[in-house]
Structure 1
Amino acid sequence: MSTFDAIELREIMAASVGVEDDVHFDGANLDVPFSDLGFDSLALLELAGQLQRRYGVQIPDEAITEEMSSPRAAVDYVNSLLVPAAA
């Protein structure tokens, strides 16, 4: 797999930490910080762990808060890691 999208992000988060039915990672919500969407740092750590296992990427702890602050930022960051892995 060479791309990751917001639909996959929501599926992973729903399975691992839970996502309210009315929370979608599309439109304006793509740029809303995870904290404003109701996800704490533990939820983001779990997300990072799931992404590392599923996609075989390494996500440093500091990237979780600095690079993955919103759904769009998380998708973009993971995709930036997948491109070199696919090469």
Structure 2
Amino acid sequence: MNDFTIEDVRRILRDVAGADERVDLDGDIAETSFADLGYDSLALLETTARLQRDLGIRLPDDAVLAVSTPGQLIDLVSLTRAGALS
């Protein structure tokens, strides 16, 4: 199983929802809120749907709703892939 990284988050955010030209996704974004990055709840839902499809995982809805930063999303994906969440 490959690690899910911040580079994966950047790629998926750009693919799914585009990038706000005022936000530098190439910077240190792990602890920056999705709202500050210019991504709303719809963009996050589209992102998690894409992750579930691409990675073949099921992310718990309540856990997805609690995610507010790319770093938290990485942690959620890692825990899910390790079988720590159901």
Q: TM-score, normalised by structure 1?
A: 0.81
Q: Which has the higher helix share?
A: 1
* Count of aligned pairs: 83
Unaligned runs of 5+ residues in structure 1 are none
After TM superposition, the structure 1 = structure 2 runs for residues 2-81 of structure 1, keeping only pairs within 5 Å, are 2-20=2-20, 22-24=23-25, 26-27=27-28, 29-66=29-66, 68-81=67-80
3-state secondary structure, aligned to 1:34: coil
**RCO higher in 1 or 2 (8 Å CA, sep ≥ 6)?**
1
Report the CA distance between 1:73 and its aligned residue: 0.6
Q: 1:25 to 1:34 in 2, by over 3 A?
A: farther
Q: Distance in 2 between matches of 1:55 and 1:43?
A: 18
Report how far residue 3 of structure 1 moved.
1.2
Deviations 1:23-60 (CA, angstroms, capped at 9, x unpaired): 22652x21111111111000000001000000111112
CA distance in 1, matches of 2:65, 2:19: 19
Partner SS for 2:46:
helix
Runs of 4+ residues over 6 Å off in structure 1 = none
Q: Structure 1 vs Structure 2: percent identity of aligned residues?
A: 34
